[in-house]
Amino acid sequence: MFAEFLQFLLSGVTVGAAYGLVALGFSIIYNASHVINFAQGEFVMLGGMSTVFLMAAGLPMPVAVVLAVLVTVVLGLLLEKLAIEPARGAGVVPLIIITIGASIFLRGVAQVAMDREFHAMPPFTGDAPIMIAGATILPQSLWVFGGMAVMGMLLWYFFARARFGKAMLATAYNPLAARLIGVNTRLVLLCSFGLSALLGSVAGILLAPITFTSYDVGIMLGLKGFCAAILGGMGHGAGAVVGGLIVGIAEAMGAGYISSEYKDAIAFIIILLVLFFMPNGLFGKRTTERV
């Protein structure tokens, strides 16, 4: 009974950690521009798929992983430079539509440049399950969770301590004032896409050995990450992580206790409930402005 519960919890936490990384990517771009980047899921796909194909080309795994992250980051930067920046004056909604177009484009390119098959990536450190109180956990799950923890701490340090990180936050809070103190807000937007691509690709690579990967995994992972970001409060870092874990755990519990048929529906039920009852999310901005 408890072992079963623990099993669902562990698999929920694993996939939830990946959702959390995707949600962080959404939040960073949202903060820099108020744009919801619907190509976020494609960053996840590109991370996993590039690693698989680079390994198939004979590269050792660590090299393939690093290269895949770099490829995804470069594509994220190009997306901002070529598609977002030229349309910057157009307003938020056209920019969001551009990101939807970009996601379809990236998926199409991945189909042509790679293929349409499902691929299994070998786990980083073997696949001997670890027993915990009657439940089992794959070593790769620890990688996913550890990866999220490390990325989360690095991000926290970047935004709380580094000068450019603070400038990115300042731009989120008040773009006009940020420009007036000399922050290059274009560079902030460019870096937000690079950083989001980095987070997405890491999530995709960590998760690929558990869930398989293919050219279209980005759709679902992107949408689940979006649900997590909304649940946590769009633009809130810790909220994104917590939101990801909640969505992942709820999904695993729903699949385990209700029916695995409904697994994908659960995230969307959560997002509807959040939008109906607490549209600012769990950690949504409480306004502290006094005028």
Cα 217 → chain centroid? 12
Q: How far is CA 148 from CA 23, 59, 233, 236, in A?
A: 11, 25, 18, 16
Q: How far is residue 56's CA from residue 110's CA, in Å, rounded to a whole number? A: 15
Q: How far is residue 3's CA from residue 9's CA, in Å, rounded to a whole number? A: 10
Contact pick of 2, 131, 133, 163 for another protein (by CB under 8 A): 163
- Using rule CB under 8 A, residue 161 touches another protein: no
Residue type, 259: S
Least distance CB 123 / another protein (angstroms): 41
Contact pick of 174, 259, 260, 279 for another protein (by CB under 8 A): 174
Contact pick of 62, 128, 181, 276 for another protein (by CB under 8 A): 181
Tell me the number of residues near another protein by CB under 8 A.
21
Least distance CB 28 / another protein (angstroms): 16
Point out which span in 11-19, 41-49, 175-183, 254-262 binds another protein (CB under 8 A).
Answer: 175-183
Cβ nearer to another protein, comparing 125 with 174: 174
Length of the chain: 291
How do beta strands 135-137 and 130-132 pair? antiparallel
In the block, residue with structure tokens 């990517």? 25
Point out which span in 28-36, 60-68, 136-144, 164-172 binds another protein (CB under 8 A).
Answer: 164-172
Query: 148: closest CA among 285, 55, 10, 20?
Result: 20
DSSP code of residue 128: P
- Using rule CB under 8 A, residue 291 touches another protein: yes
- Using rule CB under 8 A, residue 179 touches another protein: yes
Task: Give the residues lining the site for another protein (CB under 8 A).
Answer: 163, 166-167, 169-170, 173-174, 176-184, 287-291
